[in-house]
Chain A
């Protein structure tokens, strides 16, 4: 008997689950939810339940676009239970924007079906590999921007999320990777890197989101460096929509 491949399990009905992690906006001592980042997880009990394994597997299969579409559909369905007006941050592979010609139309269609205005959407571009057709990539981003979608670049400072990408993509949000943020109070070199990213964002008219806030010290450090948006276990761990709703009610 031939069992289903992991890809078939991921793409099957109910194969993906979605959790949300808030991106917090900090104004003096007041914290508020700026957006909810949607994080997709593969089938329960499979290796793809670990997001890093799932996306590495999907990249190796060359099926980023199929899985990004399935993730988007699952995310927008789950997002119906979020408070109206809450921005949603959705991860997408750069390869999908480059290779899937109909991605902007697909996104508009699926958002429309779930009553989600595109201006509530932040597209978080995960840049794991060098693009081969930059023209198509930037055309797709432009079309989405014209429709009201905002753009964040993930993993700033690592891999292909480099200066060239920042200049060419001109994202609305820079997401600084946890590599720099977690434990930064004890790492002068990491703080220097964060400082330079904040300065660059300011010059390019972007806002900075610090990922990987795990302690009060991490939070204090990024605030001292001028960052007003942050995300991490110290602020709020990823949670299913039911838990997210309960936490919002309790707050």
Chain B
């Protein structure tokens, strides 16, 4: 489990246990759920280079359709996918728990209140990372989760 609201502390601790990702790992299938184009493009590019098979969704229903028609090793979901105060990331987490056994879920959020973090924990999220978290730190967290699957 990776539970942090302070990205710097997370990174230093994760680096102790997780060396830089090599592309010799099995090709993990990843779904990135993010409505913000720049962030989505960055995540896709970074994790593709790391050797992941990266797919994406921009909306809650699109993510659900992807999850129900394919099996992902890991889902990285933004907490908020719309302008409102919705927390679609938690909906996705709930959906994964119901429909995709074994899939790891990482929630990214710029709005990670303690209450939301508690909800994510209760729903079974493997990691909750505050935005902005540098991509290598997200990758370290993902790698750690997958290696301990």
Contact = CB atoms under 8 A, between A and B. Distances in A.
A47 B55 contact: yes
Interface of B: 37, 55-59, 61-62, 64-66, 68-69
Nearest to A54: B65
Contact of A57 (B55, B56, B62): B62
B69 A61 contact: no
B37 A47 contact: no
Contact of B69 (A1, A3, A6, A52): A52
Given A47-B57, A50-B69, A53-B69, A6 B37 contact: no
Given A52-B69, A56-B68, A3 B62 contact: no
A18 to B, nearest CB: 20
Interface string A47-78: 10010111011001100000000000000000
A219 B55 CA distance: 36
* Contact residues of B: prevailing secondary structure: helix
B99 to A, nearest CB: 11
Contacts of A52: 65, 69
Interface of A: 1, 3, 5-6, 47, 50, 52-54, 56-57, 60-61
B58 A3 contact: yes
Contacts of B62: 6, 47, 53, 57
Nearest to A3: B37
Interface centre among A1, A54, A56 (most CB of B within 10 A): A56
Given A5-B59, A6-B59, A60 B65 contact: yes
Contacts of A56: 64-65, 68-69
Nearest to B68: A56
Contacts of B55: 47
A10 to B, nearest CB: 11
28 contacts: A3-B37, A3-B58, A5-B58, A6-B58, A6-B59, A6-B62, A47-B55, A47-B56, A47-B57, A47-B62, A47-B66, A50-B69, A52-B65, A52-B69, A53-B62, A53-B65, A53-B66, A54-B65, A56-B64, A56-B65, A56-B68, A56-B69, A57-B61, A57-B64, A60-B61, A60-B64, A60-B65, A61-B61
Nearest to A52: B69
Contacts of B57: 47
Nearest to A63: B61
Contacts of A60: 61, 64-65
A50 B37 CA distance: 21
Contacts of B61: 57, 60-61
